[in-house]
């Protein structure tokens, strides 16, 4: 049997003996070249055997066994492979996906945070306090405001409607809108038949550089900069259109990509 086969057999034997234990390490594949000397191969096998023995000795005290069920309400301290710790009370856990949900109150003001811990990246879990008599953890009053949810939904719908191509806009207006969206993305939207850019300028038909109207105070520096920026974009776009071969009367996909 080759050295590689011996090492693999050793790993399999260890896994069979500790098949239900996971301990701050992940399975590692080691490939041993055929040209490696017997002395080097034996040294490698001894090192691997020692590492597995150390894992086996400590595994009995580790709580990361795949059969372990974390009781709801218990206080746990999880130390990950980067040596940072998370302390919290168990809300729930899912063994198939190796996920643990904790209620953490260690932040400023003791505001509870829900943390989802990936046990595959956890090196050690320590039980600080066992669960009490309650089997379920009381959920905090989240005070969900249906009014705020509705307002957020209305704003999202309004943004989506503003980005949809208008049906009664000329071909040149559609092309100008698409070109501006490529540069300024979601900060370009429709306002009727006009194109609103950066919420500071409006572009009226025929959507040329001299069709730009500022929104608000013209002396405002932000408005002036936005107007000049949009003017440069449209001027460059117009010059490019004039030099291009006019053999395509249809615009690109009129639906914005964002």
Q: What is the pLDDT of residues 111-163, one digit of tens each?
A: 788 989 998 888 888 888 887 555 555 555 666 778 888 888 988 888 787 77
Q: What is the pLDDT of residues 173-189, one digit of tens each?
A: 888 888 898 888 888 88
pLDDT tier for residue 10 given thresholds of 50, 70 and 90 = very low
Whether the CB-CB separation of 181 and 188 falls below 8 Å is answered with yes
pLDDT tier for residue 24 given thresholds of 50, 70 and 90 = very low
Residue 133: its pLDDT value, please?
Answer: 52
Chain centre to alpha carbon of residue 229: 33
Distance, in Å, from the CA atom of 118 to the CA atom of 111, rounded to the nearest integer, reads 22
Q: What is the pLDDT of residues 49-69, one digit of tens each?
A: 554 444 344 333 344 555 677
Instruction: Output helix, strand, coil percentages for the chain, rounded to the nearest 5.
Output: 40, 20, 40
> Residues 24-48: what's their mean pLDDT?
44
pLDDT value at 212 more than 70:
yes
Distance, in Å, from the CA atom of 200 to the CA atom of 184, rounded to the nearest integer, reads 13
Supply the mean pLDDT for the chain.
71
Q: What is the pLDDT of residues 69-86, one digit of tens each?
A: 788 888 999 998 888 888
> Residues 235-243: what's their mean pLDDT?
83
pLDDT tier for residue 203 given thresholds of 50, 70 and 90 = very high
pLDDT value at 257 more than 70:
no
Long-range contacts of 168-172 (CB under 8 A, 24+ apart): 168/193, 169/193, 170/205, 170/206, 170/207, 171/249, 171/250, 171/251, 172/206, 172/207
pLDDT value at 36 more than 80:
no
Structural domains of the chain sorted by starting position, each given as residue range(s) with its CATH number in brackets: 3-59 (no CATH), 63-143 (2.30.30.100), 161-243 (no CATH)
H runs (alpha helix) in the chain: 3-17, 38-59, 146-163, 171-184, 221-243
Q: Would you call 81 helix, strand, or coil by DSSP?
A: coil
Q: Would you call 136 helix, strand, or coil by DSSP?
A: coil
Chain centre to alpha carbon of residue 197: 29
pLDDT tier for residue 93 given thresholds of 50, 70 and 90 = confident
């Amino acid at each position: 049997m080759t050295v590689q086969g011996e090492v693999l057999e050793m790993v399999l034997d260890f896994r069979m003996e500790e098949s239900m234990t996971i301990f701050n390490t992940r399975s590692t594949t080691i490939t041993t070249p055929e040209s490696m000397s017997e002395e080097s191969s034996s040294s490698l096998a001894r090192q691997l055997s020692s590492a597995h023995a150390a894992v086996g000795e400590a595994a009995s005290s580790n709580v990361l066994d795949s059969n372990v069920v974390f009781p709801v309400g218990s206080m746990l301290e999880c130390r990950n492979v980067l040596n940072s710790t998370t302390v919290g009370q168990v809300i729930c856990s899912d063994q198939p996906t190796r996920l643990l949900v904790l209620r953490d109150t260690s932040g400023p003001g003791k505001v509870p945070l829900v943390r989802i811990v990936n046990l595959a990246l956890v090196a050690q879990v320590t039980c600080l306090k066992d669960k009490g008599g309650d089997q379920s953890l009381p959920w905090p009053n989240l005070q969900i405001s249906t009014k705020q949810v509705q307002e957020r939904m209305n704003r999202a719908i309004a943004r989506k409607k503003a980005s949809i191509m208008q049906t009664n806009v000329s071909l040149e207006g559609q092309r100008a809108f698409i070109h501006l969206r490529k540069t300024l993305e979601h900060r370009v939207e429709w306002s009727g038949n006009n194109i609103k850019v950066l919420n500071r300028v409006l572009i009226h038909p025929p959507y040329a550089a001299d069709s730009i109207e500022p929104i608000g105070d013209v002396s405002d520096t932000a408005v002036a900069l936005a107007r000049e920026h949009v003017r440069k974009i449209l001027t460059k776009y117009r010059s490019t259109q004039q030099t291009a071969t006019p053999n395509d009367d249809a615009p690109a996909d009129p639906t914005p990509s964002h």
